[in-house]
Amino acid sequence: MESDEFCASHPQSFNLENASSATIVNIERLGDGPIWDITVEQWSNYQTDRTTSTGRVIHGNSGKTTCVAVAIASLVLNQPMIMRDGTQLHMRPERWRNEPIKFWCVAFDWKHVGKTIWRVLFKPDLFRVIRDQKTGKMRAWDPSRPDDKDVFHLTRPSPPLIRMSQVLDGDKGISWMDKKERQISACTLIHDGTRMEFFPSTGAKPQGDPAAVIWIDEKIDDERWYSELLVRLIDNQGRMVWTSWPDTQPSAALSDLEKRATDQLGKPDAKAFAYRFKGSENQYTANATRDYVMSTMDEDTRKARDEGTLNLDRWRVYPRFARFIHRAMAGDPEADDKLAKAIRRINGIPHDWTRYMIFDPGTANPGVLFVAVPPPEFGDYVVPYDELYAHYQNAEQIAKLIRAKVEGQY
């Protein structure tokens, strides 16, 4: 499917005004539907549906918190963002622009509130700014612009998204859980009385009060928070955004939200949307250190961290399992023992080893694990060497798949 066909099919999901600005990177399946992985112009990260009450989830270790923090600041301050082409993008719906709103932010714990949420919303240097050569005004530094490419030395830290002068009574007007650690509990903004409240998911869930906008950042300790927070949005036809990356342990609430976004893809009345940002395509953080860190990760972790790939089949039953430890052969042939040398010699399982097939039956997700037991002189070992997943296959179909796997091995 070409980009223009994709955008024409799903304009309400991605709100891309120019179809040529989107490129399909990958298509994966989750449950019964596809996840579309697209790249867009950097400023188009904010081109979401702003006219309906929606839930959104953003994945990937790619500046997602920064993107949402800027959008949140636009919303609570009732000020539009000015994009690279001069377009004004207002994150607060028109129905709320003449009245104060209530904003909630939920972080994992108070430490996360102090170290991450306070930093992105209230501290300077969230990104870099530079004086535009043509207008003479300060703007965000953009390394994709030819006139910004080699002038990083002329940039300076950005001011805070929300300045103390915009908070009622400034620093003294903030309610703190721990002021020294900057663990903010609540504050009121001076321009229209908008109230911002902050909660740890390790504490008691807020009761009673409705909210207009709720932001969950990263994982939550008690997943019952999610359903409780949704109820708080009903009165105001509010919105929720959840920024996270797929951890090695499952989050039922997050995966359910992702599934709903997939099921509603392309529907005019969609309420849930999923966006994925790729860290490797974030030119604002491009450097050799990031590339090296990514290279040290196993494939599943790298895809989660970099690509935001949410694959339910990859969540680990045994979180301590590590491929570079629990393996028959070391990466260095010089470290091979007798068992590893026998496998490496023919690049596979020797023909005189006993092979077993472990079958987990079922119609939805049957699985087969192939293992081999070497002769006694090698030691007491069982070597798993192959596997087979057969989704929605009957016994005859599974048998054919198994035959294709083992044929010619004996």
The DSSP string of 89-133 is E--S-GGGTTS--EEEEEESSHHHIIIIIHHHHHSS-SSEEEE-T
* Within-domain flag for 141: no
The larger pLDDT score, comparing residue 195 to residue 57, is at 195
Residue 162 lies in a domain: no
Q: What is the CATH number of the domain that holds 212?
A: 3.40.50.300
Give the residue from 314, 338, 369 where a domain finishes.
314
Q: How far apart are CA 276 and CA 60, in angstroms?
A: 6
Instruction: Measure Cα distances from 203 to 101, 221, 241, 260, 354 in Å.
Output: 23, 9, 20, 27, 54
Residue 214 domain-assigned? yes
**Residue of 115, 121, 240, 122 lying closest to 178 (CA atoms):** 115
Q: Are 360 and 345 in contact (CB under 8 A)?
A: no
Looking at the structure of the chain, the number of domains it has is 2
Express each pLDDT in 55-84 by its tens digit: 444 334 446 788 899 999 999 999 998 887
Instruction: State mean pLDDT over 170-186.
Output: 96
**The domain containing residue 296 runs over which residues?**
3-123+179-314
Is the same domain home to 240 and 107? yes
**Does 249 reside within a domain?**
yes
Q: Domain check: are 375 and 294 in the same one?
A: no
Asked whether residue 355 falls in the same domain as residue 307, the answer is: no
Flag the least confident range among 24-33, 122-131, 166-175: 24-33
Least confident of 30-44, 170-184, 243-257, 284-298: 30-44
**221 shares a domain with 274:** yes
Together in a domain, 369 and 298: no
In a domain, 62, yes or no: yes
**pLDDT for the residue numbered 196:** 98
Tell which of 270, 298, 314 closes a domain.
Answer: 314
Lowest-confidence pick of 60-64, 132-136, 336-340, 354-358 = 60-64
More confident residue, 27 or 77: 77
Q: Say if residue 186 is in the same domain as residue 89.
A: yes
Residues 6+ apart with CB under 8 A from 297: 305
pLDDT tens digits, one per residue of 137-162: 898 888 888 888 889 899 999 999 99
Among 314, 337, 372, the domain-final residue is 314
pLDDT at 212 exceeding the cut of 50: yes
Do 262 and 196 share a structural domain?
A: yes
The percent of residues in the chain predicted with pLDDT above 70, rounded, is: 70
Residues 228 and 298 in one domain: yes
- pLDDT level of residue 38 (50, 70, 90 thresholds): very low
Which one is predicted more confidently, 313 or 135? 135
Highest-pLDDT range among 157-171, 254-268, 278-292? 157-171
Q: Select, from the ranges 113-117, 221-225, 229-233, 246-250, the one with the highest average predicted confidence (pLDDT).
A: 113-117
Do residues 307 and 212 both lie within one domain? yes
Domain match, 303 and 205 both: yes
359 and 296 within one domain: no
In this prediction, residues 100-104 reach a mean pLDDT of: 96
State the sign of the Cα–Cα–Cα–Cα dihedral 62, 74, 211, 236: negative
Model pTM score? 0.61
299 lies in the same domain as 380: no
pLDDT interval class at 302 (50, 70, 90): low
pLDDT of 207 reads 75
Q: Calculate the CA dihedral of residues 102, 108, 112, 118 and round it to 10 degrees.
A: -10
| 283 in a structural domain | yes
Question: Per residue in 345-398, pLDDT tens?
Answer: 998 899 999 999 999 887 778 899 999 999 999 999 999 999 998 877 888 888
- Rounded to whole angstroms, the Cα distance separating 401 from 123 reads 57
Position 130 in a domain: no
Query: Over the chain, what is the mean pLDDT?
Result: 78
C-beta atoms surrounding 27 within 10 Å: 12
- 128 falls within a domain: no
Q: What number is the average pLDDT over the span 318-346?
A: 78
At residue 382, the pLDDT reads 93
